[in-house]
Amino acid sequence: MALPPSLRPLIIAGTSDAPHTLDIFLDYVCPFSAKLALAIDNVLVPALGPGGKYHGKVKAIFRPQVQPWHASSTLVHEAGLAVARAAPESFWAFSLALFKRQGEYFDIPTSTCTPLQIREKLTALAEETIPVPSSAAGKFADLLLLKSSPNGGTAVTDDLKYTIKFSRQNGIHVSPTVMWDGLIANEISSSWGEKEWSDFLLAKVVV
């Protein structure tokens, strides 16, 4: 599937020209998404990366899946997209860090926080994740500043709109959801480990 240039860092495993595509819709504040993200890092990233069995054959794309019934979902996904622009090479590392600490952004912990306070907390996480010395952390914070117009959003609002529209046009309603070559693969579960992923790829890809 195609990606705008600013969102190329969302290819978290494999090469951009790989013929097969896994579109993986994840929400940073969804526990099942976090579980799948760890499996992706442990199983898919090595399998699709250099030296992996499926390198050059399959790419995995992280598709941000904002779920607005969680008030912080929009804010955490803005942060992920800001890292994709400010420090593309750190996008997946930041995403994993956010998944591991997602409980800090659940409904009750954030219920007494303003959006600005949540963004400040996310900026601190980005500063921990992006290698130092780096000017990218400052750029990240700038990308999350509200524009001067009363309802103008931030510098990553257009990227956020793209990800939401992409989910809507593909009928994606919940996270995690995975598409294989453009079709929803309902059999894929957040509980999958190395065996299930290996069996799936073996059946789908000619090596």
pLDDT at 176: 97
pLDDT classification of 135: cutoffs 50, 70, 90: confident
pLDDT classification of 137: cutoffs 50, 70, 90: confident
pLDDT at 132: 67
Q: Which domain holds residue 187?
A: 5-204
pLDDT classification of 179: cutoffs 50, 70, 90: very high
Cα 148 from Cα 153, distance rounded (Å): 9
* DSSP E strands, 40-84: 58-64
**pLDDT reading at 1 higher than 70:** no
CB burial of 143-155 (b: ≥16 within 10 Å; e: otherwise) equals bbeeeeeeeeebb
The 10s digit of each residue's pLDDT in 78-116 is 999 999 999 999 999 999 999 999 999 999 999 999 999
Number of domains comprising the chain: 1
> To which H or E segment does residue 184 belong?
strand 183-184
- Calculate the alpha carbon distances from 49 to 12, 18, 52, 141 in Å: 9, 11, 5, 30
Please, what is the average pLDDT of the chain?
Answer: 95
Per-residue pLDDT averaged across 174-185, rounded? 97
Per-residue pLDDT averaged across 117-135, rounded? 88
pLDDT at 189: 95
The reported pTM is 0.94
The CATH number linked to 43 is 3.40.30.10
- The pair of three-digit structure tokens given for residue 186, joined into one six-digit string: 């309902």
Cα 126 from Cα 137, distance rounded (Å): 6
